Homo-oligomer: A and B are copies of this chain.
Amino acid sequence: MGAIEEANAKAVDILLAAKPVLRGIGVAGDEIPGMTKQKILHAGPPVTWDRMCGPMRGAVIGALIYEAMAGSREEAEELAASGQITYEPCHHSQAVGPMAGVVSASMPVWILENETYKNRAYCTLNEGLGKVLRYGALGDEVIDRLRWMERTLAPTLARALDAHGDVDLRSMIAQALEMGDEGHNRNRAGTSLLIRTLAPSIVSSAESRSAASEVLAFLTSNDHFFLNLSMPAAKCSLDPAADVPGSTLVSAMSRNGTDFGIRVSGLGSRWFTAPAPKVDGLYFPGFGGEDANPDIGDSVICETAGFGGFAMASAPAIVQFVGGTVDFALNSTREMYEITLAEHAFYRMPILDFRGTPTGIDLRRVVETQIPPVVNTGIAHREPGIGQVGAGLVKPPMKCFEDALRAFAEERSS
């Protein structure tokens, strides 16, 4: 076995040994290392205000209003561009965020731990569909919901988690993959399993019966609620494998709506970026390709960890949401074995005779085969303040992988 193969075996073993569990809920400003009131975390590789896409700007504006740092959209835009706000990728702070991925100091966050390696990951709570901050929507409806989440949803779930104890997310994701989810764009099973797991504790521990009832009604209304757990589960599973010298394992993929970026284990924290591609998808009534922002969000961490698009064979019903055919879903998963290092030990797909999902993208194989990772995703409107317009499939730009492989070769020859 060559040095790269050895390093990759080590890296993917670390990934496969991950055991993500849900430990609790805290406030971003308290829990996330280095988080301050003046800092805003966002999806994807680093990006400055002037290069930010519409939906991410919309989410930043919303976050500044939510934090009461600005009273209006105009004030918020001025502050956002003033240089007083620091923008950093979620990925630099052990966090991930769907779509715009904006995290500000007062937002509640899930606290996950990879029980095997004791590292943590954070993610905000999912707001539901429709007018929501992560798609860059604005308005009282969005801000009011965020406040309700801070005041009622998060404390109620925090008490329930204290009463219940840790939730084994590895087991929950494995079950959801046996129930038609792929864990990225279809989370109906994961959400249902989470609700039934926590419901008794929500009821017994809530401050009031009406809080319990409101929270259960909110969870029930949102089939994507589990996404904000599957993503940090993927993040804390990958992080311990993110710095193995000599490994070509892709340790992160992410997009900020302007750039698509990847990181490679043997190259540590460097990002390799290219313009974010358009999503090939199905649009909501009244919207079309001309409304779509380029690809955005940290949610592609799911595919990086071996589920999402890579497990589409387990979720054939998803083609009704993202487009394509059932054969395409099956073949997508099969093709991903060409560019991955292992089959997942816990995430198994009944329809493929319980084969483990293709896990651990090998940078070299992507470039050699020219097969891009298959990614399911949502589509945001390109203007700030509007929201989601569809969902679909996206091909990460090959340039990220080619540049990273070149850098990897240079590093080894130097």
Q: Could you list which residues of chain A lie within 8 angstroms of chain B, going by C-beta atoms? A: 175, 178-180, 188-189, 191-193, 195-197, 199-204, 209-210, 212-214, 216-217, 219-220, 316-317, 319, 325-327, 350-354
Contact = CB atoms under 8 A, between A and B. Distances in A.
Contacts of A188: 175, 179
A196 B176 CA distance: 15
Contacts of A196: 191-192, 195-196, 199, 216, 219-220
Given A199-B220, A200-B216, A213-B204, A351 B353 contact: no
Given A192-B189, A200-B213, A180 B219 contact: no
Contact of A353 (B203, B217, B326): B326
Contacts of A209: 203-204, 209, 212
A204 B208 CA distance: 10
A183 B352 CA distance: 21
Nearest to A181: B179
Contact of A192 (B178, B193, B213, B352): B193
Given A200-B216, A203-B213, 14 more contacts: A175-B188, A178-B180, A180-B180, A189-B189, A189-B192, A192-B192, A195-B196, A197-B220, A200-B217, A203-B216, A209-B212, A316-B351, A326-B350, A326-B354
A220 B167 CA distance: 14
Nearest to A223: B196
A216 B192 contact: no
A203 B197 contact: no
Stoichiometry, as copies per complex, reads 2
Contacts of A325: 353
Contacts of A353: 325-327
A302 B349 CA distance: 25
Contacts of A354: 326
Nearest to A191: B196
A314 to B, nearest CB: 9
A291 to B, nearest CB: 28
Contacts of A219: 196
A109 to B, nearest CB: 23
A191 to B, nearest CB: 8
A154 to B, nearest CB: 18
A178 B353 CA distance: 18
Contact of A179 (B179, B327, B352): B179
A201 B199 CA distance: 12
A212 B178 CA distance: 29
15 contacts: A178-B180, A189-B189, A189-B192, A192-B193, A192-B196, A195-B195, A195-B196, A195-B199, A196-B220, A200-B216, A209-B209, A209-B212, A317-B350, A319-B350, A325-B353
A209 B204 CA distance: 7
A179 B351 CA distance: 12
Given A178-B317, A316-B351, A220 B203 contact: no
